[in-house]
Amino acid sequence: MRRACYALMLASAITYAADSPTKSCAATGADIACTTQGAARGVIENGLLVFKGLPYAQPPVGNLRWRPPVMPAAWEGVRDGGGFGAICPQIIGKEVVGAEDCLTLNVWRPRELPAQRLPVMVFLTGGGNHGLSGVGTSNFGDVKYEGGALVPEGVVFVSFNIRLGVLGFLAHPALDAERPERVSGNYGNLDQIAMLQWLRQNIAAFGGDPQRITLFGTSAGGGNICALISSPLARGLFQAAVMQSSVPTGCEIPTLAEVQSRTGQRVVKAAGCDSAGDVAACLRGKNVTEIVSAVSAATDVLPRTYGPNMDGVVFPDQPIKIIARREHAAMPVIIGTTADETTGWVRSGGPITDQASYAAQIEKTFGAAARDRILAAYPLADYPTPQKAFIQLTTDAQFTCTSRRVARVFSAAQKEPVYRYLFSHTMENDPQLKAVSSNHTMEHAFLFPIAGKYKPLESDLAMQKLMVGYWSRFARASDPGNARDPLWPVAAGDNYLEISAKPKAGRGPDAAKCDFWDALPVQWPHL
């Protein structure tokens, strides 16, 4: 009961009141949008009207560092929406880049709006909750996270920044003590909720329908979506969800105590604040470079260094348990993975060339108790190379079969449709991209304009058209299939769609050996 009261207090602290008046606009015009903070002018790009760098919360600087987001201040006159805001602090290469004043969003809409409001698609980037926030680019052909491919299909597209890494997810008892809920961490998730509250108040000014908001996200972004579905603070703020290459890290999250004892203590010690009389003040006294580089994120093990925690307030319990108990916000869902999720990690993790190195890597990843059973289920004779065998079994264990498991839980817990996919298209016009096959998150590259060095083949453009069609139809009607494209069955009975040059519906897939993995208790390595 006490935690429930604190949840209400926290919700009221970041909620945009339903009757908040829209600030009157001093200027009018087809390129002007009136928000609750003031008027903004968009710019024409590639035939679309785009509004960039709009604040959805105050800059989380000074005493607002490691605090829930606060409603942005109003501005006078007409705000120029022609430039993106800063990305949130993160490590790119070996340097810390970005600025803490980064809680902004961007809106793409048609130049001419129809009479009826359009569905809204909001993209949550991947990057392990420590990088690639907001507008960034992906690793697949310099794909820009912009609305040029989706908006012509009759939607409004939104991208945004959240606090990342230590600034977005640090949990420590010293931060607990500052808040009435006695919790910490999840600041990046609270940013996501604040962004959705801003959209509820303002997206109609851009032609969007606040009652038809679809979240779609890749990797950590998809994992955050699964967590948000379970959060009482996000209930009613979005109506459909697409989780891409996102399992297993989103529907199951560590506890607050685990995060504090693991990453929280490491950060405080690395920052030199472990003996300070006021630990929170010491941490806030560090500059951005010092605090962001204190404990860099590990990206090749589970659990992740930074991400959501089960604090009893933002996330009351394990998301998957809340969903299984039918206590979540039921909604149409797409969940899926690529056919070769772990290729990049396996290729960078050292050579796997023979039976001995294959067995050693299985033991390192899954533990000695599971090694022989996995070797029997995935004999080298069944695969062209030991490395390919290890890619297959890790993709099955960590993604394909976990995706099936999560889809089963959703399907059993709600009447709203659940759709599942396996993406197997590859990018053939670049030797490096071809070598990683359908690697982790590659499917999201086909939802955005492909620009830069990669020259898409006709097969890539056809795949982009197919993906944009599926995703935009889902946003419009909660059903990605239609008569033009192969019909996408609901996931009941383990149905799924293989998204490839020739998409086909199926069951299973049997090649993933999911029954084996469901019966094998796996202890993931800890940091």
Q: Which residues are catalytic?
A: 219, 341, 440
Measured CA to CA, the distance from residue 477 to residue 472 in angstroms comes to 9
Is the separation of the CB atoms in 227 and 217 below 8 Å?
Answer: no
Largest CA distance in the chain: 73
Give the CA angle between residues 246, 249, 254 to the nearest 5°.
155
Tokens of 425: 């298209």
Tokens of 472: 């935009």
Is the separation of the CB atoms in 409 and 323 below 8 Å?
Answer: yes
User: For residue 388, which phi and psi values (nearest 5 degrees)?
Assistant: -65, -35
Cis peptide before 68 (omega within 30 of 0): no
Which of 149, 160, 151, 159 lies closest to 118, judged by CA? 151
Which of 506, 463, 507 lies closest to 485, judged by CA? 463
SS3 480: coil
In whole angstroms, how far apart are CA 333 and each of 17, 215, 216, 407, 437?
A: 28, 10, 10, 9, 26
Measured CA to CA, the distance from residue 431 to residue 382 in angstroms comes to 26
In whole angstroms, how far apart are CA 157 and each of 51, 246, 469?
A: 11, 21, 14
Across 132-237, where does the E strand assignment appear?
Answer: 156-160, 208-218
Task: Write out the H or E segment, with its range, that includes residue 79.
Answer: strand 78-80
Residue 478 falls in which region: left (phi positive, over 0), alpha (psi -120 to 50) or beta: left
Measured CA to CA, the distance from residue 88 to residue 104 in angstroms comes to 10
Give the CA angle between residues 101, 104, 108 to the nearest 5°.
155
Which of 413, 268, 243, 465 lies closest to 334, judged by CA? 243
Question: How many residues are present in the chain?
Answer: 527
Residue 169's contacts (CB-CB under 8 Å, 6 or more residues apart) are 129, 163, 185, 186, 187, 188, 259, 263, 306, 307, 308, 309
- Pairing, β 48-55 against β 95-97: unpaired
SS3 463: helix
Q: Per-residue DSSP letters for 343-354?
A: HHHHHHS----S
